[in-house]
């Protein structure tokens, strides 16, 4: 996407933001997305879509606990008040639904609504089947095998194999009122503008594609402890970082995602709040190991690249808003394990490994990196990747060409086959990832989830890693789960499918008007606690 087009989008967002305000309180948020996430109940645009147009409006049987700030978010009951594995079948999970929950349109949430939505994602011949949402849901819950209604308040969901961490997949399945689909003439494109009804603490009231989505407080929200304090929320896509800064300084928005790191000191001096905090997030390069003739098939090349980058220099460049990454997990994580390789800047070791693989001054390693100009969790992708491009060239003689695309195009590329034309010859993708739980680890790296079926873009297959994930699936205690995750993570370091760059500290900047925000250790946020006087 060209810079003039990005600024045009930003200007449209500004005009929307400066429309006359009503007397009630409004929180105005500038997202990094180039367009509003889809509004039918399972948003696109990655986890930024889930952050702002997923959980605040549409909920699942299981939700994230965003009340804790001293540890990574765990799961809590959502539209199901409890769940358990069937005593006679470890592949079957029984979900007991809450009483007296209603969608924003007044219709009841019950077992029929659950089955209707699961058919929407997993039954391709159902009238309500929604292919884009189905693709996202199937990739995030790849082990779901079946489901059925027991009674109005009970459903079962079956996994393909016994999986102890299955609820960490169910957390990504959100529910829309079936009445929304009927009101739109059974047309999902029209559902997106109705707007669609969920069960969450906010409801969608206004949708203007590429400009904004407006939410209103749901006064009848079923969870009295999480009813919203602010009356309205306006979400605006402003993908260009400097345009977000300008909007915040001009008072046209109250909150911006991912402020440029070089602007943070001056924002603080001007009285804006800049929050940072550790959360489960890695900013990596994903290797295209499966492409024909890919040099990344050689593990020596993948290890070499992990020794060739200056992570500490990049953290300094980012004004300390990140931490060096030497694995998928952080080094102080209990599940990091004891891998044989401890990556650091070591150009001599990197060059030696490249030489063993046949690369050097006479035959330099050449890579093409596909990246986006913005997007959920992408931090500051252009300057960061230009930094890496330069450090790889200086340290190890590696040539990297940059191919910039829109964020959703990049997300789609992650699900492409290794030699797909949509990759434009890319040997590497820059897409950030959550590291929240073992289900995500299995989803990104398990050999059963190779793209296009799942999120294993690298086409990486490791028997020892798969065995560790099998142990995790069968774990009967937290200690057994942790041990399996440690064993799996050691393989991710010693046979790296990714280039581990940094862990994001999740900076966002806010007006002093914004009260009550405390960053959870999660990709997601609790908008219900925020007030704007």
| Residue 266 DSSP class | H
User: What would the pLDDT profile of 308-361 be if each residue is shown by its tens digit?
Assistant: 999 999 999 999 999 999 999 999 999 999 999 999 999 999 999 999 999 999
- Residue-level pLDDT at 13: 41
Nearest residue to 347 via CA among 385, 307, 386: 307
Q: Which regions of the chain are under pLDDT 50?
A: 1-22
Rg for the chain, CA atoms, rounded: 23
Can you give the pLDDT at residue 453?
Answer: 85
Q: How many CB atoms lie within 10 A of CB 190?
A: 15
Q: Pairing relation of β-strands 212-217 and 202-208?
A: antiparallel
Q: What is the pLDDT of residue 68?
A: 81
- Pull the structure tokens for residue 449: 């989830």
Range 143-149 contact pairs with CB under 8 angstroms and sequence separation of 24 or more: 143/169, 144/169, 145/91, 147/114, 147/115, 147/118, 147/122, 148/115, 149/111, 149/112, 149/114, 149/115
Q: What is the DSSP letter of 61?
A: S
Q: Which of 74, 71, 78 minimizes the C-alpha distance to 54?
A: 78
Residue 50 has a pLDDT of 97
Dist. CA 287–CA 501, nearest whole Å: 13
pLDDT digits (tens, 9 = 90+) for 403-450: 999 999 999 999 999 999 999 999 999 999 999 999 999 999 999 999
Domain regions of the chain by residue span: 1-57+200-278+506-533, 58-181, 281-504
- Under DSSP, the state recorded for 431 is -
> What value does the mean pLDDT of the chain take?
94
Domain 58-181 fold is Dipeptide-binding Protein; domain 1 (3.90.76)
- Is the CB of residue 411 less than 8 Å from the CB of residue 32? no
Phi, psi (rounded to 5 degrees) for 373: -80, -15
- HEC string of 394-425? HHHCCEEEEEEECHHHHHHHHCCCCCCHHHCC
- The three-state DSSP-derived secondary structure of 82-127 is EEEEECCEEEEEEEEECCCCECCCCCECCHHHHHHHHHHHHCCCCC
Which pair of structure tokens corresponds to residue 448? 């059963």
Q: Which CATH class is domain 1-57+200-278+506-533?
A: alpha beta
Written as six digits, the tokens of 70 are: 């001293």
What is the 3-state composition of the chain as percent helix, strand, coil, each rounded to the nearest 5? 35, 20, 45
Pull the structure tokens for residue 404: 């910039």
CATH superfamily, region 281-504: Dipeptide-binding Protein; Domain 3 (3.10.105.10)
């Amino acid at each position: 996407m060209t810079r003039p087009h990005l600024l045009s989008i930003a200007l449209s967002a500004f005009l929307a933001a400066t429309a006359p305000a009503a007397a009630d309180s409004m929180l105005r948020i500038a997202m990094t997305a180039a367009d509003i996430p889809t509004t039918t109940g399972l948003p696109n645009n990655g986890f930024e879509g889930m952050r702002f147009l997923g959980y605040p409006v549409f909920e699942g049987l299981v939700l994230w606990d965003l009340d804790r700030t001293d540890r990574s978010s765990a799961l809590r009951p959502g539209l199901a008040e409890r769940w358990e594995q069937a005593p006679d079948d470890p592949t079957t999970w029984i979900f007991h639904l809450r009483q007296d929950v209603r969608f924003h349109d007044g219709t009841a949430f019950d077992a029929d609504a659950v089955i209707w939505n699961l058919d929407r994602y997993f039954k391709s011949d159902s009238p309500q089947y929604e292919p884009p949402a189905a693709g996202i849901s199937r990739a995030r819950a790849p082990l779901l095998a079946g489901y059925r209604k027991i009674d109005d308040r009970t459903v079962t969901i079956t996994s393909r194999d016994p999986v102890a961490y299955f609820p960490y997949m169910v957390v990504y399945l959100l529910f829309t009122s079936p009445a929304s689909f009927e009101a739109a003439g059974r047309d999902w494109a029209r559902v997106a503008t109705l707007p669609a009804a969920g069960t969450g603490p906010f409801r969608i009231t206004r949708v203007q594609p590429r400009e904004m989505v407006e939410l209103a407080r749901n006064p009848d929200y079923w969870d009295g402890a999480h009813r919203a304090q602010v009356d309205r929320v306006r979400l605006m896509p402003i993908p260009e970082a400097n345009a977000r800064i300008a909007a915040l300084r001009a008072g046209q928005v109250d909150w911006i995602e991912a402020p440029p790191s070089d602007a943070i000191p001056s924002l603080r001096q001007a009285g804006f709040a800049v929050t940072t905090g550790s959360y489960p997030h890695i900013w990596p390069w994903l290797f295209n190991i499966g492409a024909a003739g890919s040099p990344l098939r050689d593990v020596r090349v993948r290890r070499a690249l992990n020794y060739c980058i200056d992570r500490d220099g990049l953290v300094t460049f980012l004004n300390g808003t990140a931490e060096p990454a030497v694995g998928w997990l952080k080094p102080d994580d209990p599940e990091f394990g004891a891998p044989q390789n401890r990556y650091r800047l070591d150009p001599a070791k990197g060059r030696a490994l490249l030489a063993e693989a046949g690369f050097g001054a006479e035959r330099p390693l050449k890579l093409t990196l596909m990246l986006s100009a913005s997007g959920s969790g992408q931090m500051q992708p252009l300057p960061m990747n230009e930094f890496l491009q330069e450090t790889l060239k200086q340290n190890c003689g590696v040539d990297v060409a940059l191919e910039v695309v829109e964020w959703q195009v990049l997300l789609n590329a992650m699900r492409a086959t290794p030699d797909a034309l949509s990759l434009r010859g890319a040997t590497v993708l820059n897409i950030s990832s959550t590291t929240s739980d073992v289900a995500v680890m299995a989803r990104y790296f398990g050999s059963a989830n190779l793209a296009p079926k799942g999120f294993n873009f690298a086409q990486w297959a490791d028997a020892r890693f798969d065995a560790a994930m099998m142990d995790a699936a069968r774990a009967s205690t937290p200690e057994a789960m942790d041990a399996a995750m440690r064993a799996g993570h050691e393989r991710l370091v010693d046979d790296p499918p990714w280039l581990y760059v940094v862990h994001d500290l999740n900076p966002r900047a806010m007006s002093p008007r914004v009260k009550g925000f405390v960053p959870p250790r999660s990709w997601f946020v609790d908008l219900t606690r925020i007030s704007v006087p």
